[in-house]
A = this chain, B = another copy of it.
Amino acid sequence: MLDYSALRAVAAVVQTGSFDRAARQLGVTSSAVSQRVKQLEERLGVVLIARGSPCTATETGDWLCRHMETVGMLEGELLAHLPALIDPAATRQRVTLHIATNADSLGTWFVAAMSAFARHSPYLLNIAVDDQDHTADWLQRGRVIAAVTSVEKPIQGCRRTSLGALRYVATASPDFIARHFADGVTPEAILDAPALTFNQKDGLQDRWLRQALGVDLGYPTHWLPSTQSFIEASLSGMGWGMNPIQLVRPHLQSGRLVELIPDTALDIPLYWQINRLVADRLAALTREVVVTARHHLSA
C-alpha cells in the first residue's frame, strides 16, 4: 500500500506551489509536509518536487499527482455513498481533472464546454494545450484523462468519439493580397509571400497548398504560437495563413480579410478520447464536449 499521507503532501505542494500553503491546506505544520515529501523522495530515490518559486512537480512527481487525482475521484464517489467517512479537514481538497486540447479548439469552442461542465460539477479543470505527439502517451499513462485531438487512431485504453470537423480557410488582408497576389495565387507568388505558421507541427498551410494548388513548396513564413495572434497578424497584413472559419467569418463579411482562393476550405476532423477507467463516471463531461462541439463544428 502506498503512503497516502505522503502522496497527498506532494500533491498539495504541487497544487499550491509552496510548502507553506500546502501545510495550510492540509491543516498540518510546514515541517510535517516537508518531512513527508522528503521521506517519499528518499524511499523512491527520485526527486518529486523541484523546489522553487513556485514549487513544481518533476516528471515522476507529476505521475504521482495524477494518480492522487484518480484516487480522489474514486473517493468522491465512495463518500457520496458513505458520507460518515468524510474527513472535515479534507473537504477543501477538490479533485482536478487534467484534460488536453488542441489550441484552435481552445480558441473556438472548448471553453464553452468546460465552463458548462464546471458549473454543475465538483471538479476543478486543468486544461493543457495538446502537444499532438504526446497526446497518446499522456492518455495511456494517465497524465491527462481525456483529450480533444486530431489523432484519429484509437488510443489504447481510451474511448473515442467523433466531434465533427474544424473548418479552416486560407485568409489574408486585402492589402496583403494586393501586394503579393496581384497576379493571382500562383506557386511563384507563394514563394515570396510570407505565410503564418503556428509551430513546427502546424502542417495546415502545406496541406492547403497541396489541395488548392497541387504544389509542395518551401515558402517563407513567420511563426506565431497563438490562435488569436494568428488572426491579428492576418488582419494587419503580416502574412497569409489558415484560420478557423468561426473566428474569421465576421472579418470575411466586413472585407477586412479575404479568402486567398474561394471555396478551398480545409476540414480537420476532431476526436474526443477519454480514458476508459473514468469514462462512465465522467459521462457528463463527454456529453458537454460532444454537444458543444457538434454545435460549433462541421458535421
> Which residues of A are at the interface with B, using a C-beta cutoff of 8 A?
12, 15-17, 20-22, 24-25, 53-54, 56, 92, 94, 96, 103, 106-107, 110-112, 114-116, 118-119, 124-129, 191-192, 194, 200-201, 203, 206, 216-218, 220-229, 232-233, 236-239
Contacts and interface: CB of A to CB of B under 8 A. Distances in A.
23 contacts: A21-B217, A21-B218, A24-B218, A53-B203, A54-B203, A96-B223, A106-B224, A106-B226, A107-B229, A111-B232, A114-B222, A115-B232, A118-B194, A118-B239, A119-B237, A119-B238, A124-B222, A126-B223, A127-B224, A127-B225, A128-B223, A226-B227, A228-B228
Nearest to A219: B16
Contacts of A21: 216-218
Contacts of A237: 115, 119
Given A54-B203, A56-B200, A115-B232, 6 more contacts: A17-B200, A25-B218, A94-B220, A96-B223, A106-B226, A127-B229
A200 B56 CA distance: 7
A229 B56 contact: no
Contact of A200 (B54, B94, B201): B54
Contact of A226 (B53, B129, B221, B233): B129
Nearest to A127: B224
Given A21-B217, A220-B94, A228-B228, A233 B56 contact: no
Contact of A233 (B22, B114, B194, B220): B114
B124 A220 contact: yes
A224 B111 contact: yes
Given A54-B203, A106-B226, A226-B107, A115 B233 contact: yes
Contacts of A115: 232-233, 236-238
B218 A12 contact: yes
Contacts of A191: 92
A129 B225 contact: yes
A116 B238 CA distance: 8
A238 B115 CA distance: 5
Given A118-B222, A233-B114, A217 B24 contact: yes
A114 B203 contact: no
A130 to B, nearest CB: 11
Contact of A229 (B106, B203, B223, B233): B106
A200 B15 CA distance: 9
Contacts of A24: 217-218
A103 B238 contact: no
* Closest CB pairs A-B (n = 8): A115-B236, A25-B218, A126-B223, A16-B218, A21-B218, A115-B238, A111-B232, A228-B228
